[in-house]
Structure 1
Amino acid sequence: MNFRVNWDAMGVAASLACAIHCAILPLLLTSLPVLGINIIENEAFEYFMILVAFGIGVYSLRHGYKKHHHSALPIIIFAIGITGLIAKQIWHQYQLWILPVAVLMIVTAHLMNFRACRVHNHAHEDDCDH
């Protein structure tokens, strides 16, 4: 059995999970503070999610760049997105404006990387599923 992980798909999923956590979770889980549980404004959890998105993104984009397409554009877009995630931690009052743009940039970078891998490797379709 040959199992390969699609890191771009995982990066998109992590970015979307972060967006869901930051945007939808507060609406659905407003009762958690009553129970003494607070993951909505938990700074450690926020930075952990950013670290996960960063780790998956660096691995995936580095692989795509080095082995497949050699395009820096997905890396640049990803860097802007990660910078946005950090910026929303610093400037909380603007996080509802910064977060959607940051997540969109990260998802776009992964999709660009995925497509570029596919376009530049017709003979090796499974290569991008690292």
Structure 2
Amino acid sequence: MRINWDMLGMSASIACAIHCAVLPLFLTALPLFGWEILHNPWFEGGMIALAGVVGASALRHGYKRHHRRSTPAMLFGAGFACLVLKEVFHTFHVALLIPAIVLIVGAHYLNLRYTSPKAA
């Protein structure tokens, strides 16, 4: 059984988008029960680190074994930078989150296209 790292990366990016969009609406009652996960810097940092590890693994595999094109890595780097910056500049959270998602999913999509035999 082979792991399609790009599909895993796109899935992780979409899960991150759902987390960022739905979780605040769904889990606003958690502080009533003593759970504070929404603005937990450790949780957010862990999600960003997970996205970085999965994304870098997928792009590294595609680059080394298939296409040797740097465009997916550049898109991913820009998207990942937006993810990190949204944690630093909370005022621009949504303005940085949207391009982060688009760039990261786009990087995985492009990497997947470059690794398919039809793209060669």
Whether these two folds match at TM > 0.5 is yes
CA distance in 1 between partners of 2:14 and 2:38 (Å):
16
- The letter of the residue matching 1:17 is A
Q: What letter matches 2:65 in structure 1?
A: K
Whole-Å Cα distance in 2 between the matches of residues 100 and 9 of structure 1?
A: 20
1:42 aligns with 2:40: yes
Per the alignment, residue 87 of structure 1 pairs with: 85
Instruction: Please list every run of at least 4 consecutive aligned residues from structure 1 whose deviation after the TM superposition is greater than 6 angstroms.
Output: none
Secondary structure of 2:116's counterpart equals helix
How far apart are the structure 1 equivalents of 2:15 and 2:40? 16
Structure 2 stretches of 5 or more lacking a match? Answer: none
Kindly, what percent of the aligned residue pairs are identical?
A: 43
For residues 20-56 of structure 1, the C-alpha deviation after alignment (integer angstroms, 9 at most, x for no partner) is 1111110111111111112111110111011111001
Corresponding letter in the other structure for 2:111? N
Structure 1 residue 88 displacement after superposition: 0.2
Q: CA RMSD in A?
A: 1.3
Q: How is 1:107-126 mapped onto 2 (pairs within 5 angstroms)?
A: 107-119=105-117
Residue aligned with 2:77, SS: helix
Number of paired residues? 120
Structure with the larger helix share: 2
Residue of 4, 9, 12 corresponding to 1:11:
9
Over residues 78-99 of structure 1, what are the superposed CA-to-partner deviations in whole Å (9 max), with x where a residue is unaligned? 0000000000000011101110
Which runs of 5 or more structure 1 residues have no equivalent in the other structure? 123-130
Q: Which residue of 2 aligns with 1:77?
A: 75
Once the 2 structures are TM-superposed, how far is the Cα of residue 121 of structure 1 from its aligned partner? 7.3
